[in-house]
Amino acid sequence: MSASPVADEADLVAELQSLGFSVNSVYDFVSTSAGYAAAYPILVRHLRILHHPRIREGITRALTVKDGGPTVIAALFAEFESETDPILKWTFANALKTAMPYRDRKRHPEIQDTFGRGARS
């Protein structure tokens, strides 16, 4: 991918700002205590769009939430299943450990297997 991460996320940031979020990057949602559930649909949609790996990681980390519900969980799991980059696959496994309840996650041992291997390239 030729675009820089900053250029690549410009449309995403603009959409988030149009909802009233004062962000300059998707990473502004990572490790914040401020609520941003209204941004989840945009983040899920952008998760399915081809983005620079750094932005894709930021979107995934922003969706590493307990209150995302079925839509967030389904999107994370679909991307986890199709991801071929081992580092991003681990990032999805980590997100699912937070977002997906254990009772559901235990039916997918591949999540724990990937998480347990770590983010190896």
- pTM recorded for the entire structure: 0.90
Where would I find the H helices in the chain?
A: 5-8, 10-18, 40-47, 53-62, 69-82, 86-99, 102-105, 109-117
pLDDT value for 120: 55
* Structural domains in the chain (count): 1
Mean pLDDT value across residues 15-19:
96
Q: In b/e form, how buried is each residue of 4-31, taking b as 16+ CB within 10 angstroms?
A: ebeebbeebbebbeeeebebebbbbbee
Q: CA distances (Å), 98 to each of 17, 39, 54, 121, in order?
A: 26, 18, 20, 23
What is the tens place of the pLDDT at every residue in 90-104?
A: 999 999 999 999 999
Q: Which amino acid is at 34?
A: A
Cβ 86 vs Cβ 121: under 8 Å: yes
pLDDT value for 7: 85
Supply the range of the domain harboring residue 29: 5-117
Q: Which amino acid is at 27?
A: Y
What sign for the dihedral angle of Cα 11, 15, 18, 24? Answer: negative
